[in-house]
Amino acid sequence: MVDLSRHELELSYPCSWSYRVVGRDEGAVRRAIAEVVQTRNHLVEHSNNSATGKYVSFRLTLTVVSADDRTDVFDALRRHHDVKLVL
């Protein structure tokens, strides 16, 4: 098995990046994404519903301009009270 913890992700910026955003309420998750990305050009696609219907997930795709930008978007989504999980 390869130990990926020792390897730095090598990307050429700017690049397209996708996040999986999970929450309980579809409208609330969509609003959370809009609050985080604001006027940035992005695409939000419904990804999945949990088997019980308790959670909904979306794929958010946007252009990130640096590793810090990529991490900042991830952290802002993760901290939002309507988002349960970001991958």
Reduced to 3 states (helix: H, G, I; strand: E, B; else coil), residue 29 is: helix
- What's the whole-model pTM score? 0.88
Report the distance separating Cα 15 and Cα 50, nearest Å. 30
Q: What is the pLDDT along the chain (87 residues), one digit of tens a residue?
A: 566 567 677 889 999 999 999 999 999 999 999 999 999 999 999 999 999 989 999 999 999 999 999 999 999 999 999 999 999
Domain boundaries, the chain: 27-86
Going by CATH, does the domain composed of 27-86 fall within 3.30.1050.10? no
Closest CA to 33 of 84, 83, 87, 85: 83
